[in-house]
Amino acid sequence: MNTFLAHLQDEEGVEKHLILYPGITHQEVKDLITSSFGSSEEVVGLYDTEQDVIYPISILSKVPSFFSSSPAYTLLKDTSISLLRSGKSLIKIKFQCCCPPYRKQYGY
């Protein structure tokens, strides 16, 4: 079975590497993040600081390989999204997968 290492960090800078696999469910990803980071607040997205892009958290279960070759993504919680919306810089939200083969397969 192929596995992919996703490099994530919380808003305080604590970094973790999570092992994902094809077929992992959205609930399993959420449970893995909650247990790894010990947060009671729901994680709703991933922020790529290099590209200034927000990805929905569900993309980790749909295309785990996409996140394996990138630097750390910052976890975003409900409160983080509100703070980003009220900030001065405009954040681009990316709801489509960048990998064309997965667009058709997952309905993007």
Specify whether the CB–CB gap between 81 and 93 falls below 8 A.
no
Domain spans of the chain? 4-103
pLDDT single digits (tens) 14-60: 899 999 999 999 999 989 998 998 877 888 888 888 888 888 888 88
DSSP string, the chain: ---EEEEEE-TT--EEEEEE-TT--HHHHHHHHHHHHT--SPEEEEEETTTTEEEETTHHHH-GGGGTTS-PEEEEEHHHHHHHHHSSSPPEE--S-S-HHHHHHHT-
pLDDT single digits (tens) 49-85: 888 888 888 888 888 888 887 778 888 887 555 555 5
Tell me the two tokens of residue 20: 């994902």
The answer to whether residue 101 scores a pLDDT higher than 80 is no
Structure confidence at residue 12 (pLDDT): 83
- For the domain 4-103, what is the CATH code? 3.10.20.90
**Average pLDDT for residues 96-103, to the nearest whole number?**
42
Structure confidence at residue 28 (pLDDT): 93
Decide: pTM greater than 0.75: no
